[in-house]
Structure 1
Amino acid sequence: MKELPALGNDATVRLSRQGGQVTTMTRPREIEFAQCNVDEREQICNVLNRCLPQTSTDVGRGDQRFYQIEVRYRSDNRDDQLRFTVPEDQASEELKRLWDKGQV
Protein backbone atom coordinates (compact mmCIF):
# COMPACT_ATOMS: atom_id res chain seq x y z
CA MET A 1 0.00 0.00 0.00
CA LYS A 2 1.19 3.52 -0.77
CA GLU A 3 2.06 5.86 2.04
CA LEU A 4 1.52 9.58 2.12
CA PRO A 5 4.89 11.33 2.43
CA ALA A 6 5.53 14.18 4.85
CA LEU A 7 4.05 17.25 3.17
CA GLY A 8 5.35 20.77 3.72
CA ASN A 9 4.29 24.25 2.62
CA ASP A 10 5.41 23.48 -0.93
CA ALA A 11 2.87 20.67 -1.42
CA THR A 12 -0.12 20.91 -3.74
CA VAL A 13 -3.09 18.55 -3.76
CA ARG A 14 -5.16 18.27 -6.94
CA LEU A 15 -8.50 16.46 -6.74
CA SER A 16 -10.71 15.68 -9.70
CA ARG A 17 -13.78 13.59 -10.22
CA GLN A 18 -13.39 11.42 -13.31
CA GLY A 19 -15.40 8.93 -15.33
CA GLY A 20 -19.11 8.60 -15.90
CA GLN A 21 -21.22 9.87 -18.74
CA VAL A 22 -21.37 13.55 -17.65
CA THR A 23 -17.89 14.99 -18.17
CA THR A 24 -18.86 18.41 -16.80
CA MET A 25 -18.68 16.94 -13.29
CA THR A 26 -14.87 16.66 -13.52
CA ARG A 27 -14.21 20.15 -12.09
CA PRO A 28 -10.69 19.77 -10.66
CA ARG A 29 -9.81 21.41 -7.35
CA GLU A 30 -6.28 22.43 -6.45
CA ILE A 31 -5.22 23.09 -2.87
CA GLU A 32 -1.87 24.73 -2.20
CA PHE A 33 -0.55 23.98 1.26
CA ALA A 34 1.15 27.39 1.36
CA GLN A 35 -2.36 28.90 1.48
CA CYS A 36 -3.47 26.66 4.38
CA ASN A 37 -2.76 26.92 8.07
CA VAL A 38 -1.17 24.03 9.99
CA ASP A 39 -4.53 22.65 11.19
CA GLU A 40 -5.99 22.67 7.67
CA ARG A 41 -2.93 20.90 6.27
CA GLU A 42 -3.16 18.26 9.00
CA GLN A 43 -6.88 17.69 8.30
CA ILE A 44 -6.24 17.34 4.57
CA CYS A 45 -3.42 14.86 5.20
CA ASN A 46 -5.72 12.86 7.51
CA VAL A 47 -8.38 12.66 4.78
CA LEU A 48 -5.81 11.54 2.21
CA ASN A 49 -4.31 8.95 4.58
CA ARG A 50 -7.77 7.47 5.16
CA CYS A 51 -8.25 7.25 1.37
CA LEU A 52 -5.16 5.15 0.77
CA PRO A 53 -6.76 1.78 1.72
CA GLN A 54 -9.58 2.48 -0.80
CA THR A 55 -7.27 3.13 -3.74
CA SER A 56 -7.85 1.10 -6.86
CA THR A 57 -6.32 0.84 -10.32
CA ASP A 58 -9.47 -0.79 -11.68
CA VAL A 59 -11.73 2.29 -11.93
CA GLY A 60 -13.69 4.16 -14.55
CA ARG A 61 -15.46 1.29 -16.26
CA GLY A 62 -18.84 2.07 -17.75
CA ASP A 63 -20.56 4.81 -15.80
CA GLN A 64 -18.40 4.40 -12.69
CA ARG A 65 -16.98 7.65 -11.38
CA PHE A 66 -13.84 7.97 -9.31
CA TYR A 67 -11.70 10.59 -7.64
CA GLN A 68 -8.19 11.11 -8.92
CA ILE A 69 -5.85 12.52 -6.31
CA GLU A 70 -2.48 13.99 -7.23
CA VAL A 71 -0.08 15.17 -4.55
CA ARG A 72 2.90 17.23 -5.72
CA TYR A 73 5.66 17.86 -3.17
CA ARG A 74 9.41 18.22 -2.69
CA SER A 75 11.46 15.40 -1.22
CA ASP A 76 15.24 15.40 -0.83
CA ASN A 77 15.50 18.66 -2.81
CA ARG A 78 13.63 17.29 -5.82
CA ASP A 79 10.07 17.48 -7.07
CA ASP A 80 8.00 14.36 -6.61
CA GLN A 81 4.41 13.26 -7.14
CA LEU A 82 2.01 10.68 -5.77
CA ARG A 83 -1.12 9.82 -7.75
CA PHE A 84 -3.95 7.49 -6.77
CA THR A 85 -7.63 6.90 -7.49
CA VAL A 86 -10.58 6.15 -5.23
CA PRO A 87 -13.87 4.77 -6.62
CA GLU A 88 -16.70 7.22 -5.94
CA ASP A 89 -18.78 4.59 -4.17
CA GLN A 90 -15.92 4.03 -1.69
CA ALA A 91 -15.00 7.70 -1.19
CA SER A 92 -15.56 9.19 2.25
CA GLU A 93 -17.83 12.18 2.74
CA GLU A 94 -14.72 14.13 3.79
CA LEU A 95 -13.04 13.44 0.44
CA LYS A 96 -16.19 14.42 -1.46
CA ARG A 97 -16.42 17.67 0.54
CA LEU A 98 -12.71 18.38 0.00
CA TRP A 99 -13.22 18.04 -3.77
CA ASP A 100 -16.49 19.98 -3.79
CA LYS A 101 -15.77 22.81 -1.33
CA GLY A 102 -12.00 22.74 -0.93
CA GLN A 103 -12.32 22.25 2.81
CA VAL A 104 -12.59 19.40 5.28
Structure 2
Amino acid sequence: MNYLFQKVSYLQGLAEGLGVDDTSNEGKLLLQIIDVLGEFTEVLDEVVEDQVGLEEYVSFIDEDLSDVEDEVYDDYDEFDEYDDFDFEDYDEFELNDDCLDCGDSCNCEE
Protein backbone atom coordinates (compact mmCIF):
# COMPACT_ATOMS: atom_id res chain seq x y z
CA MET A 1 0.00 0.00 0.00
CA ASN A 2 2.94 2.28 0.56
CA TYR A 3 3.59 2.47 -3.18
CA LEU A 4 0.13 4.00 -3.74
CA PHE A 5 0.85 6.72 -1.20
CA GLN A 6 4.17 7.36 -2.94
CA LYS A 7 2.54 7.63 -6.35
CA VAL A 8 -0.13 10.05 -5.11
CA SER A 9 2.56 12.11 -3.38
CA TYR A 10 4.54 12.10 -6.63
CA LEU A 11 1.48 13.37 -8.53
CA GLN A 12 0.92 16.10 -5.94
CA GLY A 13 4.56 17.15 -6.21
CA LEU A 14 4.45 17.01 -9.99
CA ALA A 15 1.34 19.18 -10.12
CA GLU A 16 2.95 21.65 -7.73
CA GLY A 17 6.21 21.62 -9.70
CA LEU A 18 4.39 22.23 -12.98
CA GLY A 19 2.57 25.14 -11.43
CA VAL A 20 -0.89 23.62 -11.72
CA ASP A 21 -3.22 25.82 -9.71
CA ASP A 22 -6.92 26.26 -9.32
CA THR A 23 -7.15 29.44 -11.40
CA SER A 24 -7.87 27.50 -14.61
CA ASN A 25 -10.59 24.93 -15.15
CA GLU A 26 -8.05 22.28 -16.11
CA GLY A 27 -6.00 23.00 -12.99
CA LYS A 28 -9.07 22.68 -10.76
CA LEU A 29 -9.90 19.37 -12.39
CA LEU A 30 -6.39 17.95 -12.03
CA LEU A 31 -6.07 19.02 -8.39
CA GLN A 32 -9.45 17.49 -7.54
CA ILE A 33 -8.50 14.24 -9.27
CA ILE A 34 -5.26 14.09 -7.28
CA ASP A 35 -7.15 14.78 -4.03
CA VAL A 36 -9.69 12.04 -4.80
CA LEU A 37 -6.86 9.61 -5.57
CA GLY A 38 -5.36 10.41 -2.17
CA GLU A 39 -8.69 9.72 -0.47
CA PHE A 40 -9.09 6.45 -2.38
CA THR A 41 -5.63 5.40 -1.26
CA GLU A 42 -6.44 6.11 2.39
CA VAL A 43 -9.74 4.22 2.23
CA LEU A 44 -8.11 1.29 0.44
CA ASP A 45 -5.43 1.15 3.13
CA GLU A 46 -8.15 0.95 5.81
CA VAL A 47 -9.91 -1.83 3.89
CA VAL A 48 -6.68 -3.82 3.65
CA GLU A 49 -6.09 -3.42 7.41
CA ASP A 50 -9.65 -4.56 8.11
CA GLN A 51 -9.19 -7.54 5.79
CA VAL A 52 -6.05 -8.62 7.61
CA GLY A 53 -7.88 -8.33 10.93
CA LEU A 54 -10.78 -10.40 9.63
CA GLU A 55 -8.43 -13.08 8.32
CA GLU A 56 -6.85 -13.39 11.76
CA TYR A 57 -10.27 -13.48 13.43
CA VAL A 58 -11.54 -16.20 11.09
CA SER A 59 -8.37 -18.19 11.70
CA PHE A 60 -8.95 -18.06 15.47
CA ILE A 61 -12.60 -19.06 15.03
CA ASP A 62 -11.54 -21.96 12.80
CA GLU A 63 -9.09 -23.20 15.43
CA ASP A 64 -11.73 -22.92 18.16
CA LEU A 65 -14.28 -24.74 16.02
CA SER A 66 -11.76 -27.48 15.35
CA ASP A 67 -11.24 -27.90 19.09
CA VAL A 68 -15.00 -28.10 19.67
CA GLU A 69 -15.41 -30.64 16.86
CA ASP A 70 -12.66 -32.77 18.37
CA GLU A 71 -14.37 -32.70 21.76
CA VAL A 72 -17.85 -33.43 20.42
CA TYR A 73 -17.18 -35.91 17.64
CA ASP A 74 -14.40 -37.92 19.27
CA ASP A 75 -17.01 -39.61 21.46
CA TYR A 76 -19.01 -40.58 18.41
CA ASP A 77 -15.97 -42.06 16.72
CA GLU A 78 -15.29 -44.35 19.68
CA PHE A 79 -18.87 -45.61 20.05
CA ASP A 80 -20.12 -45.75 16.49
CA GLU A 81 -22.95 -48.25 16.72
CA TYR A 82 -23.00 -48.92 13.01
CA ASP A 83 -19.36 -49.95 12.62
CA ASP A 84 -19.96 -53.59 13.57
CA PHE A 85 -23.53 -53.87 12.32
CA ASP A 86 -24.01 -56.16 9.33
CA PHE A 87 -26.85 -54.80 7.24
CA GLU A 88 -26.75 -57.73 4.79
CA ASP A 89 -28.38 -59.96 7.42
CA TYR A 90 -31.41 -57.67 7.48
CA ASP A 91 -32.21 -57.44 3.76
CA GLU A 92 -35.43 -59.41 4.18
CA PHE A 93 -38.20 -58.70 6.60
CA GLU A 94 -41.63 -60.08 7.36
CA LEU A 95 -44.57 -58.18 8.72
CA ASN A 96 -47.53 -59.98 10.27
CA ASP A 97 -50.40 -57.88 11.50
CA ASP A 98 -54.13 -58.16 12.05
CA CYS A 99 -56.59 -55.82 10.35
CA LEU A 100 -58.34 -53.59 12.86
CA ASP A 101 -61.65 -53.56 10.92
CA CYS A 102 -62.18 -57.19 9.90
CA GLY A 103 -59.64 -59.05 12.04
CA ASP A 104 -57.99 -60.82 9.08
CA SER A 105 -54.28 -61.52 9.24
CA CYS A 106 -52.14 -59.49 6.88
CA ASN A 107 -48.68 -60.79 5.87
CA CYS A 108 -46.07 -58.75 4.03
CA GLU A 109 -42.73 -60.17 2.97
CA GLU A 110 -39.89 -58.59 1.06
TM-score (norm 2): 0.24
Decide which structure has greater strand share. Answer: 1
Bigger-Rg structure (1/2): 2
